[in-house]
């Protein structure tokens, strides 16, 4: 059009970036533990497990380094709030925070990585050490672990919503946990909707295969509450014990079994994301649970203290008795009868003393 000169080329605006704080330089170990539930060396050790998967392939747009990605994810797990991660020194946007957490959880959830920190004892020395720890704690011989279930609350999923409604009428993932006497997690199963009972989860789990395919030696037991079927390798309490051996058995059984309830309480206390409502899909929530279980054991190995000023007991962790699992030993078939008879044998052999 006449009267107009040549058009000037548009100039691209140079991107501006928020200032990022060097947390590894500025924070003390106490500040690291308070914010991330791990000390500085612990975060670097966790990062080394997944460094190759988190390393950016390009330096464009100031990519986050792997250590920062792990720190962001740890802060989310510790608080349960993604918003707090974006405004707390990381100098990045909320969409970036979300992508970083997903990427890091996917990397840490690798079963090969988790098995380095969370597995059943298999060698004779490992098994005897677990049994000795329980014996020293409560006086129940032969125990290698205590088993229980806990519910992790989730937002109502879009698919099969009704399956996730548990007995307390909220949506959840029902999680199976096996703990040793030192509150370390030996096994965790997080894949079942909240409506599924603890006994069904056990029936479909690798824990059952370990014992029933004789991969664990005789004389090794798990302890569980009355929601589980009584087996020769899974000892449950008597429902109406008579004074004497059975009452003594129940008392020591309760004292021993409570370690798994405390372990679950510590897990949720350390990683508060599990204490509130996880606003992610069930699949992503299950990854979070597995990763938190692994990180809990890493914290134990590094002697990281628990956060202060909160209740340690697991509010909803203790499973209620399962009416679908019969207390009548004859109703559970031969395996159930053998389990109840074996429990009688253990009670009379180990606890038939006057106290």
Backbone angles phi, psi at 100, to 5 degrees: -65, -45
Sign of dihedral through CA atoms 37, 39, 43, 49?
A: negative
Domain ranges of the chain: 23-108, 120-350
Share of the chain above pLDDT 70, in %: 82
- Of 316 and 41, the structure prediction assigns the larger pLDDT to 41
Residue recorded with tokens 């918003």: 83
Using CA atoms of 254, 256, 258, 264 in order, give the dihedral in degrees to the nearest 10. Answer: -150
pLDDT at 83: 67
Q: Is the pLDDT of residue 311 over 70?
A: no
User: Which pair of structure tokens corresponds to residue 133?
Assistant: 């720890």
Tell me how crowded residue 316 is: count the other CB atoms within 10 A of its CB: 18
pLDDT band of 318, cuts 50, 70, 90? very low
pLDDT at 331: 37
pLDDT at 60: 64
- Whether 325 and 332 have beta carbons less than 8 Å apart is answered as yes
Q: Is the pLDDT of residue 348 over 70?
A: yes
Non-local (6+) Cβ contacts of 170 within 8 A are 151, 153, 194
Mean pLDDT along residues 94-99: 88
pLDDT at 317: 41
Q: Is the pLDDT of residue 337 over 70?
A: no
| Element holding 152 (H helix, E strand) | strand 143-153
Tell me how crowded residue 49 is: count the other CB atoms within 10 A of its CB: 20
Mean pLDDT along residues 143-156: 98
Determine the Cα angle at 268 with ends 324 and 163, to 5°. 40
- Whether 210 and 185 have beta carbons less than 8 Å apart is answered as no
Non-local (6+) Cβ contacts of 100 within 8 A are 64, 69, 72, 73, 92
Dump pLDDT digits (tens) for 193-245.
999 999 999 999 999 999 999 999 999 999 999 999 999 999 999 999 999 99
pLDDT at 161: 96
Distance CA 253, CA 234 (A): 12
Dump pLDDT digits (tens) for 10-62.
566 655 555 566 778 788 889 899 999 999 999 999 999 999 999 987 766 67
Sign of dihedral through CA atoms 236, 237, 240, 241?
A: positive
3-state secondary structure of 178: strand
- Pairing, β 221-223 against β 143-153: parallel
Backbone angles phi, psi at 140, to 5 degrees: -100, 115
Determine the Cα angle at 102 with ends 36 and 187, to 5°. 70
């Amino acid at each position: 059009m006449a009267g107009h000169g040549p058009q000037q080329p548009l100039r691209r605006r140079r991107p501006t970036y928020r200032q990022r704080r060097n947390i590894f330089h500025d924070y003390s170990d106490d500040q690291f533990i308070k914010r991330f539930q791990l000390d500085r060396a612990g975060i670097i050790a966790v990062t080394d497990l997944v460094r190759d998967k988190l390393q950016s392939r390009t330096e464009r747009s100031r990519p986050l380094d792997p250590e920062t990605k792990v720190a962001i994810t740890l802060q989310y797990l510790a608080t349960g709030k993604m918003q707090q991660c974006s405004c707390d020194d990381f100098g990045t946007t909320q969409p970036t925070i979300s992508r970083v957490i997903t990427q890091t959880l996917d990397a840490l959830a690798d079963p090969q990585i988790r098995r380095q920190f969370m597995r059943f004892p298999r060698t004779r020395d490992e098994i005897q050490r677990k049994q000795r720890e329980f014996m020293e704690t409560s006086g129940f011989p032969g125990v290698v672990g205590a088993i229980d279930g806990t519910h992790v609350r989730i937002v109502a999923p879009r698919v099969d919503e009704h399956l996730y409604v548990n007995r307390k009428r909220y949506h959840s993932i029902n999680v199976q946990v096996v703990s040793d006497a030192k509150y370390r997690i030996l096994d965790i199963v997080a894949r079942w909707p909240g409506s599924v009972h603890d006994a069904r989860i056990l029936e479909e789990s690798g824990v059952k295969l370990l014992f029933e395919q004789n991969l664990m030696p005789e004389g090794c037991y798990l302890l569980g509450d009355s929601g589980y079927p009584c087996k020769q390798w899974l000892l449950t309490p008597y429902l109406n014990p008579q004074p004497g051996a059975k009452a003594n058995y129940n008392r020591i059984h309760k004292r021993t079994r409570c370690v798994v309830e405390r372990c679950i309480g510590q897990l949720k206390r350390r990683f508060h994301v599990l204490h509130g409502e996880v606003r992610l899909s069930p699949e992503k929530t299950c990854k979070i649970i597995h990763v938190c279980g692994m990180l809990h054991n890493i914290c134990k190995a590094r002697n990281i203290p628990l956060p202060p000023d909160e209740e340690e007991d697991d509010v909803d962790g203790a499973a209620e008795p399962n009416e679908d699992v019969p207390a009548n030993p004859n109703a559970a078939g031969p395996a159930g009868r053998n389990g109840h008879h074996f429990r009688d044998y253990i009670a009379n052999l180990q606890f038939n003393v006057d106290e």
